[in-house]
Structures are given as structure tokens and as C-alpha cells.
Amino acid sequence: METFAGKWVWIWNWRRCDGGDTGRVAERLRSAGCRGAIVKAFDAGRWFAQGPSFRDVCRALKSRGLAAGGWGYLYGRDPAGEAKRAIETAHYGEADLLVLDVESEFKGRPEVAEEVCQRVREALGPSYPLYYSTFAIARYHRSFPYAAFGRYCTSGGSVGGTAPQVYWNAFRWPHDRALAWTYEDYAALGVPPERVFPVAGLYREGLTPYPAPHEVRDFVRRAAEAGSRGVSFWSYEHMSEAMWDAVASAAMSDGTAEEEEMSSAEYEELTRELAAVGTRLGRLETDVRALRGEAPAPPADPPPPGPATYTVRAGDTLSGIAQKLGLGGWQALYDANRAMIGGNPNAIKPGQVLILP
């Protein structure tokens, strides 16, 4: 099961979250259908004061059936010290996953990013779920060292990834545009959508309003359709009741139950239904011509049967397409289209028409 699957809420100041009452926090998270919380553990090289220790918060949430991740803000001023605190969050703090919040301070400093990530990954091992959270629209932040963080967070197979901060309410952009550009930019960086875990900003601050509840629900739906396995929301202490209701009504599987996929039989049935619709439209066009007094179009010879195809959409992967269409595996799909795709099976692009094996 993907560690960051499902819906999560970020916690910044524990005591501002229902007064730090673990029972109330846990009940609110469960009522919203959340799998867990990502709790702030450290700031730079120091533990972040939460009242109770970070480990106590984690243990309290876990005792109530929730997962508990840890996050910390890194500045890159003391790579060794910041890495040490991140490692302790996972080991001593018993965090289920770790998110490195890394932003403007790392721009133009790939060597610092490399040192921090290398220290953390070597200490935690290759299978520990390590993520980084930063800018959503990468094209506007080209000096940020995405490659360094990606090497240690998004290249671990089934663990790790990136949690881009898609705060469309602060961007003053439509939510669908902000999300689409996020996936486009991270795909260009070599990050597949299943390693992207977008964060929505459910806060109001200054001139930045809360997003509309329907946008929150659509954000979750679009993220799931793009291939993400989990989403999260910033942050517990900022969310209004309307935002909690929006999260609760947004469906996102946490990976604990098998998601319903379209079987090959269902796909064939859908194809037959679409063909029937096309036939009915053809008859309707004939009837319209008759009403207008136009001569019916001469019957055309049926085209020779061609191979079944699929047009790639944004966020698609070969494995996702193969699973959705019931093809049994992505390798045969890749082999049938290798000449067009090239040597990298992850390099498919929206608009490409794939031949189905």
C-alpha cells in the first residue's frame, strides 16, 4: 500500500487544532475520511515546540487508528543539523513518513540539497517513505534543485514522491489550470503522476480567500484521475467548517481497498454501446435529410477493420492505461508502440495515439 495514499491534513501548530485534544482531532480527521495527519516536527535543526513531544503526538494519533507523518521546514543553512533532525523525526519520532518542506532558500543551491538528501536517505534506508514539498508550477522556479530532491525522493519505486503546493486560491488561477500545469511541469522533470501528491491550500489569509468547496472536491477528483494516489490539505488550524465538509465529501481511495477498474468485458461492452450510438446518429442524419427533401447520402463501403487505439491524456501512464483497459500489463502495450514512444516507456505524451495489443 502506498504510504501517502488517500487524504491527509497538515498540522502546523498542534495546540491550535481543537486545543490539541487528540480525541477531537482524531474524530475530525476520521469524519472527513482522512487516513492521517502530517505533523510539524522540526524547524531547521531544532524540534518544533508543539506542547507534547512530536513522538507523543504520533503515538496518540496511531492509537486511534490514524497514520502520522512528520514534516519540517529546511533552510539549508546547516545541512548536517537539519538532516539529523529529519532522521530523528523518523527514528525517534516514529513517523510513518517524512516530508521535507524546501522552498526559496534552496534555489541555486543544488549542492546543499544533495547533502541534506543524501544524509537523510542513507540513514533511513532505501525503503523509508521520503517526500519533498515545494513549488507547484516548476516553470516559474527553474533555479530550484528539483533533480537533487527527486533523486532521493521520487526515484524509490513504490515509496517516496513530491507534494507540490497547489494553492490555486493564492495563485488567483482556476484550480484545474493550476493542477494541470503542476502535472505537466513535474512530468517534464521526469516525475510520473503516481509519485505526485498535490497539496491544496484550504486557508484564508489577507486577500487570499478560501477556495470554493466544489473546487476542493474537483481538485481531489482530478488528482485521482491524473494518477495520484494521495492528496493533502493545508492546514488543520486554518480550515473552516465548509472546508472540512468539502474534504469529507471528496472521494479519494487510501489504498486499503482495491479500486474498481474497468474490466476487458466492460470495456468491450462500452465499445459496443458507443458503436450503437454512432449507428443511431447515422439514422437520425438520414431522417433529417428526408425532412429537408435532400437525397440520402449514398451508402459507403465499410472501412477495413483497423487496430483498436487509445489516445493518451494528461497524467496517463502505460501501466495505468493497461490496467484501465484490462490489457494485463504495460509491457505488451509498450512493445506495440515502441517505435513511437522511444526507449523510455515513461515518455508518453498527451495526444499520442497508441495501438492496443
The yes/no answer on whether domain 307-357 falls in CATH 3.20.20.70 is no
* Residue 23 grid coordinates: 480525541
Structure letter (DSSP) for residue 159: B
Q: Which string of DSSP letters, residue by residue, matches 259-297?
A: PP---HHHHHHHHHHHHHHHHHHHHHHHHHHHHHTPPPP
Instruction: Tell which residue, 96, 48, 37, has the closest CA to residue 73.
Output: 48
Contact predicate 313/350, CB 8 Å: yes
What lies within 8 Å, CB to CB, of 93 at 6+ separation is 41, 54, 55, 58, 70
Domain boundaries, the chain: 6-248, 307-357
Contact predicate 28/58, CB 8 Å: no
Task: Assign 233 to helix, strand or coil.
Answer: strand
Burial of 3 (0-12, 13-18, 19+ CB in 10 A): buried
Reported residue count of the chain is: 357
pTM given for the model: 0.72
From first to last of the 357 residues of the chain, give the pLDDT tens digit.
Answer: 578 999 999 999 999 999 999 999 999 999 999 999 999 999 999 999 999 999 999 999 999 999 999 999 999 999 999 999 999 999 999 999 999 999 999 999 999 999 999 999 999 999 999 999 999 999 999 999 999 999 999 865 557 999 999 999 999 999 999 999 999 999 999 999 999 999 999 999 999 999 999 999 999 999 999 999 999 999 999 999 999 999 999 988 765 544 444 444 554 555 555 556 556 656 666 665 666 565 555 555 544 454 578 888 877 888 888 878 877 788 888 888 787 787 788 888 887 888 888
For residues 130, 133, 135, 138, the Cα torsion angle rounded to the nearest 10 degrees is 10
Contact predicate 189/138, CB 8 Å: yes
Question: Rounded to whole angstroms, how far apart are CA atoms 34 and 67?
Answer: 9
Contact predicate 92/55, CB 8 Å: yes
* Residue 314 grid coordinates: 494528461
Contact predicate 125/151, CB 8 Å: no
What CA–CA distances, in Å, run from 307 to 102, 164, 260, 356?
47, 39, 27, 7
Question: Rounded to whole angstroms, how far apart are CA atoms 148 and 134?
Answer: 13
Cβ atoms within 10 Å of 240's Cβ, excluding its own: 13
Burial of 65 (0-12, 13-18, 19+ CB in 10 A): exposed
Instruction: Tell which residue, 148, 171, 158, has the closest CA to residue 74.
Output: 148
Q: 505488451: which residue's cell? A: 332
Instruction: Classify domain 6-248 by CATH number.
Output: 3.20.20.80
